[in-house]
């Protein structure tokens, strides 16, 4: 006996707009219609007269009832509900009467059984098939048309078929349920992956915005601040000291050119503009000398341990920290002298920037991005940043970076 079932009750909606699990399409309806017509013709031919035509008419009623009402039951996810049970038992009753008129019509079970199972489920489907198989035999035995032994044999065979139908129907239901559960898990997995991708994209965008904010603060903003300071100095020097004003104008031009180079480097994602083809040590000497020229104070730059080739991220961290420390001295320190030291050792690299300016209270939260940016850069390369300061006794910034690990060839 071929049985069929459908998805479990309240099955999840198929993804991607797929059709219902038991909306089998034109092939199923062609099979149903063609089989019903064929069985009805056989019934009329084998049982001439009113009985044959009555049985064929009942099969037509069954087909019409399914196409007009039964199909909508499983499409509405009412599978296995009492209303579907009533439908299946009604179909079984009509078929049973048709078989009574023409016994050959029992062959319609090849269509009716899948119809009942896929609409009403294993329990109701088995009950309807059992009614179609058992009632004609029991009725014939009751009327005396079938002797007891034959009735027992046929009933036994039918009970085996019914039992197998119930087992197979339940097993098939379980398979379909697991398929729908798997489809639901896959759908949830896809949604989770899409959500993870979205969050990752948002996190990457936020990290990139923060990186750009630090770059802009450490480069362009400082350059513009320097240009503004130099502009104010030039305004006061044009009448009193034209030579010094020209030197400050040259510094302004140099600072603007470096800012432009920094902007291009950020757009092209290259090394920081001040580095270019120069070494880190040379750039530190240059920015220290510029600060001394701008402020008119001695700025000492010292490199200990000899030049060393450091990875790009460490060079950027050292350069940006030095730029930020010198920018803070320019804006806030009012210092008389500055000392910048870059020391290389077997333990790593230590950058120290010291001034004798007014200092500040490190326990008071600041409103700028300079110190948080320096700390973030240090943490990003597994370094440590220390700020030693107090009101009236200057400031010392120490950045310690570990010795980079050698990459195996």
pLDDT tens per residue, range 7-57:
444 444 444 444 445 556 778 888 888 888 898 898 888 888 888 899 889
Q: Which fold has domain 276-403?
A: Heat Shock Protein 90 (3.30.565)
Ranges in the chain, pLDDT < 50: 1-20, 407-409
Q: What is the reported pLDDT for 365?
A: 76
Q: In the prediction, which pLDDT does 267 show?
A: 58
Domain borders along the chain are 15-194, 276-403
Cα–Cα dist 69/291, whole Å: 89
**pLDDT at position 226:** 74
Q: What is the pLDDT of residues 246-288, one digit of tens each?
A: 877 887 787 777 777 666 666 555 555 556 567 888 888 888 8
- Selection from 232, 5, 312, 223 nearest residue 129 by Cα: 5
């Amino acid at each position: 006996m071929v049985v069929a079932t459908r998805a479990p009750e309240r099955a999840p909606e198929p993804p991607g707009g797929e059709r219902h699990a038991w909306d089998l399409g034109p092939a199923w309806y062609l099979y149903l219609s063609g089989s019903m017509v064929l069985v009805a013709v056989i019934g009329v031919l084998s049982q001439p007269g009113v009985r044959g035509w009555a049985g064929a008419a009942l099969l037509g009623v069954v087909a019409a009832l399914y196409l007009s009402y039964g199909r909508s039951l499983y499409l509405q996810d009412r599978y296995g509900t009492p209303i579907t049970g009533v439908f299946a038992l009604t179909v079984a009753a009509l078929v049973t009467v048709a078989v009574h008129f023409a016994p050959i019509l029992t062959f319609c079970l090849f269509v009716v059984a899948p119809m009942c199972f896929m609409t009403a489920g294993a329990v109701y489907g088995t009950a309807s098939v059992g009614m179609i198989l058992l009632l004609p035999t029991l009725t014939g035995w009751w009327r005396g048309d079938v002797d007891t032994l034959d009735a027992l044999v046929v009933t036994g065979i039918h009970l085996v078929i019914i039992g197998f139908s119930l087992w197979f129907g339940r097993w098939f239901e379980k398979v379909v349920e697991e398929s729908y559960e798997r489809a639901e898990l896959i759908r949830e997995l896809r949604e989770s992956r899409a959500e993870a991708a979205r969050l990752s994209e948002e996190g990457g965008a936020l990290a990139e915005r923060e990186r750009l904010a630090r770059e802009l603060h450490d480069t362009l903003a400082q350059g513009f601040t320097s240009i503004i300071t130099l502009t104010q100095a030039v305004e006061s020097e044009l009448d009193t000291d034209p030579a010094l004003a020209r030197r400050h104008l040259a510094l302004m031009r140099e600072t603007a050119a470096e800012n432009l180079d920094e902007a291009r480097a950020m757009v092209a994602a290259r090394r920081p503009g001040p580095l270019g083809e120069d070494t880190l040590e040379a750039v530190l000497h240059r920015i220290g000398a510029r600060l001394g020229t701008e402020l008119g104070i001695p700025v000492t730059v010292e490199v200990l341990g000899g030049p060393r080739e450091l990875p790009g991220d460490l060079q950027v961290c050292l350069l940006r920290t030095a730029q930020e420390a010198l920018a803070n001295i320019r804006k806030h320190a009012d210092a008389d002298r500055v000392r910048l030291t870059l020391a290389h050792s077997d333990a790593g690299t230590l950058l120290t920037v010291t001034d004798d300016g007014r200092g500040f209270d490190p326990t008071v939260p600041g409103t700028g991005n300079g110190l948080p940016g320096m700390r973030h850069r240090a943490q990003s390369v597994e370094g440590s940043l220390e700020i030693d300061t107090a009101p009236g006794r200057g400031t010392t910034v120490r950045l310690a970076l570990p010795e980079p690990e050698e990459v195996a060839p």
